[in-house]
Amino acid sequence: MNSFGIKLRFSTFGESHGTAIGTLLDGVPAGLEIDEAYIQSELDRRKPGKSEFETARKEADKVEILSGVFEGKSTGTPIAMIIYNTNQKSKDYSNIKDVFRPGHADFTYFHKYGIRDYRGGGRSSARETAARVAAGAIAKLMLQELDIKVESGICEVAGIESQEFDYKAAKTSIIYALDPKQESAQKEAILEAKKAHDSVGGVSRVRIQGVPIGLGEPLYYKLDGVLADAMMGLNAVKAVEIGDGILSARTLGSQNNDPIRKSGFESNHSGGILGGISNGEEIVLNVHFKPTPSIFKEQHTVTTHNEEVDFALKGRHDPCVAIRGTVVCEAMAALVIADMLLLNMGSTMEGVSKYYK
């Protein structure tokens, strides 16, 4: 159950403090130019230790392609990519060996499997998301060929909301802020929490442009359903909205329906998806991240022997996981769209006949 997607399917492996993490990306059409520098640049956007808004753990996150690429192009065979862990300080974690960190997966992994790699959360660490970003970068290369663009940014930190969504600005913001006017307040909220040994939540907004009409496989592999799974499955995510999301439940039908004109839709409350299928408009998602559970304040918890203790975490952690998380949201969105593109081929007999004749 460590795979995602149907026709474009990736699997990941690896633990936070193991030898390496990596991904196997299966189903990439042959003949795609694989720009390794681009893949690395995507990883660089997610990698830790770039600023005071992130964990101090430094990882080069150098990706190596092991298979599936020949003379710079994909061959149709699985593309394996590996990232060796270099800066794992397992000693940091000796103090949590026997303790369940509140808000973490320690408790559930231990009870499910009866054994756990406690070093940095092992498999449950957000470190695994580097592998997703590597796979997502290749998905993005595919989408580029079809003029589909996936972008994202942070639209809320600690309740401080963006008033506008400037995806270009987000690219150069150290916290990927969508609204330059809110950026400094958002930064301040992060640093304040950090100083208080606490953490804050945030919201990533993802926008996908250029998606053709027709992506999504109803009724049980709908575009919105699969995007929701992809996002909710990320560490710390507790809510996902498509289009107007929660607001749409508070409007009237006459306000929420998007009128249709010859040239397209007059509004986009739906966020580009109707009946689980893309309608040609921008696809828009909001992904809500809880505050990092790793805080340095004392908390109530129990040991693996079910003894109650008061416990203050040590180590290096992001004060707001949403920041680097938004890069992962983009990767997941790209992987979903690319999978849906491949799945949609064959929707009509006319398309099939044309393909084979």
If one asks whether residue 97 binds a second copy (CB under 8 A), the answer comes out as no
Tell me which of 38, 87, 102, 304 binds a second copy, using CB under 8 A.
Answer: 102
If one asks whether residue 29 binds a second copy (CB under 8 A), the answer comes out as yes
Q: Is the dihedral of CA 18, 20, 21, 22 positive or negative?
A: negative
Q: To the nearest 10°, the Cα dihedral for 272, 278, 284, 290?
A: 130
Distance CA 217, CA 12 (A): 24
CB of 132 to a second copy, least distance (A): 9
Asked if residue 157 lies in contact with residue 202, where contact means CB atoms within 8 angstroms, the answer is yes
Strands 3-4 and 9-14: antiparallel
CB nearer to a second copy: give 57 or 317: 317
If one asks whether residue 312 binds a second copy (CB under 8 A), the answer comes out as no
Half-sphere exposure of 198 (CA within 13 A, CB side): 9
If one asks whether residue 270 binds a second copy (CB under 8 A), the answer comes out as yes
Site for a second copy in 204-263 (CB under 8 A): 212-214, 216-222, 224-233, 235, 237-246, 248-262
Structure tokens given for 276: 């689980």
CB nearer to a second copy: give 111 or 181: 111
If one asks whether residue 326 binds a second copy (CB under 8 A), the answer comes out as no
Site for a second copy in 49-68 (CB under 8 A): 64-68
CB of 321 to a second copy, least distance (A): 10
Instruction: Number of residues interacting with a second copy: please give it, by CB under 8 A.
Output: 162
CB of 111 to a second copy, least distance (A): 4
Tell me which of 92, 198, 209, 282 binds a second copy, using CB under 8 A.
Answer: 198
Residue 113 CB-density burial (10 A; 0-12 exposed, 13-18 middle, 19+ buried): exposed
Asked if residue 236 lies in contact with residue 323, where contact means CB atoms within 8 angstroms, the answer is no
Give the per-residue contact string, 150-189, with a second copy (x = CB under 8 A; - = no).
Answer: ------x-xx------------------------------
CB nearer to a second copy: give 311 or 330: 311
300 beta partners: 310
CB of 250 to a second copy, least distance (A): 4
CB of 178 to a second copy, least distance (A): 15
**Residue 230 phi, psi (nearest 5):** -60, -40
Structure tokens given for 206: 């993802």
CB nearer to a second copy: give 241 or 330: 241
* First CA to last CA distance, the chain: 38
Distance CA 273, CA 241 (A): 12
Tell me which of 120, 122, 136, 153 binds a second copy, using CB under 8 A.
Answer: 122
Distance CA 217, CA 288 (A): 25
Tell me which of 55, 74, 182, 326 binds a second copy, using CB under 8 A.
Answer: 74
